[in-house]
Structure 1
Amino acid sequence: MKKLLIASALLAASSVQQVHAWGQTGHRVTGAIAEQYLTVEAKAAIEMLLPNESLAEASTYADENRSNPDDFWQKEAGAYHYVTVPAGKHYHEVGAPEQGDAYTALTKFSNIVKDKTAPLAERQRALRFIVHIIGDLHQPLHAGNGTDKGGNDRKVKFFWEDSNLHRVWDSGLIDRRQLSYTEWTEWLSQKITAEQAAEWNTSDPLIYIAESAEIRDVIYPEKDNISWDYLYQHIPIATERLQEGGVRIAAYLNDLFK
């Protein structure tokens, strides 16, 4: 019985991992980078809502609660991690499904954060989701094409281990370097120029989505066994998306808390 429970837990953990974006490390990097670009007003508002909680910590909340039995998590929140944009289309042409998606969730949670009559716990959850969703939208396969569950159905061997393309982009590329999120943050932050920060400074999620959909269409490998060549070609794209995601989380929150 004990072995069965352990096996079930491992299976559940594996299933959940497949739908995360960036994994724990990537999300924390975007949150930590974002803190460097916040305005004084945004910092004060965030500190009021999330005292003693960094954006790096807040960034993983939406994934860590996927097994929460509350109806919100089991029936509603799952759709808020991604958008669907078929090849050759733009998001504004297809829009969101009935259950909503990451784009509509940003509007929903932004309204909750700004509603000072809303319960504090709801405003805190909304803020954490905003940080997470913007990170999600910078992972190219979270702007899925609608045919393969954002690359989850595209099975590959990554460095000779069974995986799928979504998982490779969630964590495989990043974790391969064996760096902590603080090391990644330090390395990537130092490489963001003032010109890049200014260029990336937008709070429009339609831009995040369009960029990810464009990248998504060119990262599908021609073969199923991928390793050093794929890493060499695509880690620069993945790391730049982390940098952009961090700058954009700050841009979005700076606008939200004007």
Structure 2
Amino acid sequence: MRLLAFAVTALLALPSPVLAWGKTGHRVVGAIADPLLTPSARAGVRSILGVETMAEASNWPDFMRADPAPYWQRQSTPWHYVTVPKGAGYAQVTPPPEGDAVTALRRFSATVRDKSAPLPERQAALRFIIHIVGDLHQPLHAGNGTDKGGNEVPVTFFGKPTNLHSVWDSGLIDDEQLSYSELATWLGARITPADRRAWASTDPAVWIAESTAMRDQIYPTDPALSYAYVYQNKARVEQRLEMGGVRLADYLNALFQPQRKRR
């Protein structure tokens, strides 16, 4: 029993990577966005990624964090999240010197627009954009600055020791036992024209405000999470995935919108 308690304590003490949605969730966001692209956005994405789908590209920034290079181990880590204290908005936050998800999104967007940039740089930038838009729709990627986006909030999920961030990354989604394509098909079919109009936004500050409002509602009073927590949050998770897909399409449609020639 003492050995088990020590193992659990050691597990929780390990540094947790700040990921969002997990592989399935990120792919769902990319797959929902794909059919919502305008012809110019679709052509723009294809000219950069080729046959690589947005669902496939969506997890690349997390996959590359296994690369031991300093760029992936330190420099790029802050680009997956923002820190917004409770009661504040992103406009009131000064991004750290190393940047955050919003500053990275802005920089990568400029690279994608720059047709003189080398193709590998534009590919990396577009993959980051796809990933970051998904990240900013995960409530705990708008962290409150006190617990590393829920990574330092130990919980159990159906009896297994983990942390709150991990539950929202993958636990709640994987509990459905669906492939990303099945989940994307189900969720995408629910999105109505009225939803698209209501959710239309290319402003990360809007997405962050929604995430922080939800973030402050999802901290459990009982760390033993199971059926009740899933029941309370299933609709929230699904809507954030749906909104992430719609916003990703909106963002890319604007990014690849043909520029009018000046007379």
Regarding TM over 0.5, the answer is yes
Long gaps (5+) in structure 1: 1-10
Q: 2:63: which partner in 1? A: 64
Matches of 1:87 and 1:112 in 2, distance apart?
33
Is the CA contact 1:33–1:185 (under 8 Å) kept in the aligned structure 2? yes
Q: 1:133: which partner in 2? A: 132
- Deviation string 1:193-233 (CA, Å, 9 cap, x unpaired) is 11001111211111011100110001000011011110000
Is the CA contact 1:139–1:241 (under 8 Å) kept in the aligned structure 2? yes
SS in 2 for 1:179: coil
- Deviation string 1:32-65 (CA, Å, 9 cap, x unpaired) is 0000110000000110000001000010000000
Matches of 1:182 and 1:46 in 2, distance apart?
20
Matches of 2:14 and 2:255 in 1, distance apart?
34
SS in 1 for 2:156: strand
SS in 1 for 2:155: strand
Matches of 2:231 and 2:15 in 1, distance apart?
27
Matches of 1:114 and 1:61 in 2, distance apart?
20
Is the CA contact 1:18–1:167 (under 8 Å) kept in the aligned structure 2? no
Matches of 1:182 and 1:28 in 2, distance apart?
8
Q: 2:144: which partner in 1? A: 145
Alpha-carbon distance change, 15 to 50 in structure 1, aligned in 2, over 3 angstroms: farther
**1:222 aligns to 2:229 (yes or no):** no
**1:181 aligns to 2:166 (yes or no):** no
Kindly state the Cα deviation for residue 16 of structure 1 after the two structures are TM-superposed. 8.1
- Deviation string 1:174-208 (CA, Å, 9 cap, x unpaired) is 00010000110111011111100111121111101
**1:240 aligns to 2:239 (yes or no):** yes
Kindly state the Cα deviation for residue 74 of structure 1 after the two structures are TM-superposed. 2.2
Matches of 1:204 and 1:15 in 2, distance apart?
35
The AA in structure 1 aligned to 2:210 is: E
Kindly state the Cα deviation for residue 71 of structure 1 after the two structures are TM-superposed. 3.1
Between Structure 1 and Structure 2, how many residues are aligned? Answer: 247
Alpha-carbon distance change, 39 to 16 in structure 1, aligned in 2, over 3 angstroms: farther
Matches of 1:117 and 1:107 in 2, distance apart?
18
SS in 1 for 2:36: coil
Q: 1:120: which partner in 2? A: 119
The AA in structure 1 aligned to 2:235 is: P
Kindly state the Cα deviation for residue 130 of structure 1 after the two structures are TM-superposed. 0.2
Alpha-carbon distance change, 213 to 133 in structure 1, aligned in 2, over 3 angstroms: same
Is the CA contact 1:23–1:171 (under 8 Å) kept in the aligned structure 2? yes
Q: 1:4: which partner in 2? A: none
The AA in structure 2 aligned to 1:256 is: L
Q: 1:5: which partner in 2? A: none
Matches of 1:71 and 1:51 in 2, distance apart?
28
Matches of 1:16 and 1:48 in 2, distance apart?
38
The normalised TM-score by structure 1 is 0.93
Is the CA contact 2:187–2:238 (under 8 Å) kept in the aligned structure 1? yes
1:1-258 mapped onto 2 (5 Å cutoff)? 18-258=17-257
